A and B are shown apart, each in its own frame.
Chain A
Amino acid sequence: MSTKKRLAVNKTYKLYLGGKFPRTESGRYYELKGRKDALLANVSRASRKDFRNAVVAARKAWSGWAAATAYLRGQILYRVAEMLEGRREQFEEELRAQGSPPTAAKKEVTGAIDLFVHYAGWSDKYQALFSSVNPVATPHFNFSMLEPTGVVAAVAPEGSGLLGLCSVVAPILVGGNTSVILASHARPLCAITLAEVLNSSDVPAGVVNILTGLREELLPHLASHMDVNALLLCSDEASEAKLAQEEAVENVKRVTLHRDGPLEESPYHILDFQEIKTTWHPVGV
Chain B
Amino acid sequence: MPEGQKEDAAEAKPRSAKAKSAGGAGKSRYDFVEGDRYAPAPESSDHVSLKDSYHLFIGGEWVRAPRRLQTINPATGEVLAEVGEAGPRMVDRAVGAARQAYEKTWSNMPGRERGKYLFRLARLIQERAREFAVVETMDGGKPIRESRDIDLPLVAAHFFYYAGWADKLDYAFPGRRARPLGVVGQVIPWNFPLLMAAWKLAPALACGNTVVLKPAETTPLTALKLAELIEEAGFPPGVVNVITGAGKTGQNLVRHPDVDKVAFTGSTAVGKLIQKDLAGTGRRFTLELGGKAANIIFDDAPVNQAVEGIVNGIFFNQGHVCCAGSRLFVQEGIADTVVRKLKRRMETLVLGDPLDKNTDVGAINSQEQLERIRVLVDSGKEQGAKCWQSGQKLPRKGFWFKPTIFTGCAQSHSIVQKEIFGPVLAIQTFRTPEEAVEKANNTPYGLSGGVWTDKGSKIFKITSQIRAGVLWANTFNKFDPGSPFGGYKESGIGREGGLQGLAPYVELR
Enumerate chain A interface residues (CB-CB to B < 8 A).
129-130, 132, 134-138, 140, 142, 144, 147, 150, 229, 238-239, 241-243, 245-246, 248-252, 254, 266-268, 275-282
Q: Count contacts between A and B, CB distance < 8 Å.
A: 112
Contacts of B280 in A (CB 8 A): 238-239, 241-243, 245-246
The answer to whether B488 touches A280, judged by C-beta atoms less than 8 angstroms apart, is no
The answer to whether A249 touches B469, judged by C-beta atoms less than 8 angstroms apart, is no
Contacts of B488 in A (CB 8 A): 275, 277
Contact of A280 among B278, B289, B475 (CB under 8 A): B475
19 contacts between A and B (CB under 8 A): A132-B500, A142-B482, A144-B498, A241-B282, A246-B280, A249-B279, A252-B287, A252-B490, A252-B491, A276-B486, A276-B495, A277-B464, A278-B469, A278-B471, A279-B471, A280-B483, A281-B473, A282-B473, A282-B474
Within 8 A of A (CB), among B174-231: 174-176
Identify 10 new A-B residue pairs, CB closer than 8 A, beyond the known A275-B469, A276-B486: A132-B499, A249-B276, A254-B493, A276-B500, A277-B469, A277-B470, A277-B488, A278-B483, A280-B470, A280-B483
* Known contacts A134-B484, A229-B489; is-contact A249 B472 (Cβ 8 Å): no
B444 nearest in chain A by CB position: A251
A230 nearest in chain B by CB position: B493
Bound-state CA distance A246–B280 (Å) is 8
The answer to whether A250 touches B480, judged by C-beta atoms less than 8 angstroms apart, is no
Contact of B489 among A147, A238, A252 (CB under 8 A): A252
Contacts of B508 in A (CB 8 A): 268
B272 contacts the other chain (Cβ, under 8 Å)?
A: yes
B50 contacts the other chain (Cβ, under 8 Å)?
A: no
The answer to whether B478 touches A280, judged by C-beta atoms less than 8 angstroms apart, is yes
* Known contacts A245-B278, A254-B493; is-contact A280 B471 (Cβ 8 Å): yes
**Chain A nearest CB, measured from B267 CB (Å):** 12
A130 nearest in chain B by CB position: B500
B493 nearest in chain A by CB position: A254
B70 contacts the other chain (Cβ, under 8 Å)?
A: no
Contacts of A132 in B (CB 8 A): 498-500
The answer to whether A144 touches B489, judged by C-beta atoms less than 8 angstroms apart, is no
**Chain B nearest CB, measured from A235 CB (Å):** 12
A129 nearest in chain B by CB position: B174
* Known contacts A241-B280, A252-B275; is-contact A134 B268 (Cβ 8 Å): no
Bound-state CA distance A137–B157 (Å) is 10
The answer to whether B482 touches A136, judged by C-beta atoms less than 8 angstroms apart, is yes
Query: Which of A251, A268, A277 gathers the greatest number of chain B CB atoms within 10 Å?
Result: A277
**Chain A nearest CB, measured from B125 CB (Å):** 16
Contacts of B1 in A (CB 8 A): none
The answer to whether A252 touches B271, judged by C-beta atoms less than 8 angstroms apart, is yes
Contacts of B174 in A (CB 8 A): 129
Bound-state CA distance A150–B289 (Å) is 19
The answer to whether A276 touches B469, judged by C-beta atoms less than 8 angstroms apart, is yes
Contacts of B489 in A (CB 8 A): 229, 251-252
Contacts of B499 in A (CB 8 A): 132, 134, 144
Contacts of B268 in A (CB 8 A): 252
The answer to whether A144 touches B484, judged by C-beta atoms less than 8 angstroms apart, is yes
A277 nearest in chain B by CB position: B469
Bound-state CA distance A254–B504 (Å) is 14
The answer to whether A140 touches B475, judged by C-beta atoms less than 8 angstroms apart, is yes
The answer to whether A248 touches B482, judged by C-beta atoms less than 8 angstroms apart, is no
Bound-state CA distance A279–B449 (Å) is 10
Contacts of A242 in B (CB 8 A): 279-280
Bound-state CA distance A85–B491 (Å) is 43
* Known contacts A252-B271, A275-B488, A280-B473; is-contact A134 B482 (Cβ 8 Å): yes
The answer to whether B275 touches A276, judged by C-beta atoms less than 8 angstroms apart, is no
The answer to whether A134 touches B480, judged by C-beta atoms less than 8 angstroms apart, is yes
Bound-state CA distance A187–B239 (Å) is 50
B124 contacts the other chain (Cβ, under 8 Å)?
A: no
**Chain A nearest CB, measured from B484 CB (Å):** 5
Query: Which of B271, B491, B499, B500 gathers the greatest number of chain A CB atoms within 10 Å?
Result: B500
Contacts of B492 in A (CB 8 A): 252
Contacts of A268 in B (CB 8 A): 176, 508
**Chain B nearest CB, measured from A152 CB (Å):** 14
Contacts of A136 in B (CB 8 A): 478, 480, 482-483
**Chain B nearest CB, measured from A155 CB (Å):** 16
A242 nearest in chain B by CB position: B280
Contacts of B278 in A (CB 8 A): 245
Contacts of B463 in A (CB 8 A): 277, 279
**Chain A nearest CB, measured from B138 CB (Å):** 27
**Chain B nearest CB, measured from A56 CB (Å):** 17
Bound-state CA distance A130–B488 (Å) is 17
**Chain B nearest CB, measured from A68 CB (Å):** 14
Contacts of A276 in B (CB 8 A): 469, 484, 486, 495, 500
Contacts of A267 in B (CB 8 A): 175
The answer to whether A246 touches B276, judged by C-beta atoms less than 8 angstroms apart, is yes
Contacts of A135 in B (CB 8 A): 482
B459 contacts the other chain (Cβ, under 8 Å)?
A: yes
The answer to whether A245 touches B500, judged by C-beta atoms less than 8 angstroms apart, is no
B174 nearest in chain A by CB position: A129
Bound-state CA distance A134–B481 (Å) is 9
The answer to whether B473 touches A249, judged by C-beta atoms less than 8 angstroms apart, is no
Within 8 A of A (CB), among B274-324: 275-276, 278-280, 282, 287, 289
**Chain A nearest CB, measured from B271 CB (Å):** 7
Contacts of B271 in A (CB 8 A): 252
A251 nearest in chain B by CB position: B490
Bound-state CA distance A254–B475 (Å) is 30
A244 nearest in chain B by CB position: B279
Bound-state CA distance A77–B61 (Å) is 59
B118 contacts the other chain (Cβ, under 8 Å)?
A: no
Q: When A and B form their complex, which 10 residue pairs have the shortest distance between CB atoms, in order from nearest? A: A242-B280, A245-B279, A136-B480, A246-B279, A134-B482, A252-B490, A279-B471, A249-B275, A249-B276, A280-B472
Query: Which of A147, A268, A282 gathers the greatest number of chain B CB atoms within 10 Å?
Result: A282
* Known contacts A137-B157, A252-B492; is-contact A281 B482 (Cβ 8 Å): no
B159 contacts the other chain (Cβ, under 8 Å)?
A: no
Bound-state CA distance A268–B175 (Å) is 10
Contacts of B282 in A (CB 8 A): 241
Within 8 A of A (CB), among B14-63: none
The answer to whether B176 touches A279, judged by C-beta atoms less than 8 angstroms apart, is no
**Chain A nearest CB, measured from B460 CB (Å):** 8
Contact of A278 among B279, B470, B490 (CB under 8 A): B470
**Chain A nearest CB, measured from B161 CB (Å):** 10
Bound-state CA distance A70–B485 (Å) is 25
* Known contacts A251-B489, A252-B493; is-contact A134 B471 (Cβ 8 Å): no
The answer to whether B279 touches A142, judged by C-beta atoms less than 8 angstroms apart, is no
**Chain A nearest CB, measured from B399 CB (Å):** 30
B468 contacts the other chain (Cβ, under 8 Å)?
A: yes
Bound-state CA distance A135–B164 (Å) is 14
Bound-state CA distance A248–B489 (Å) is 12
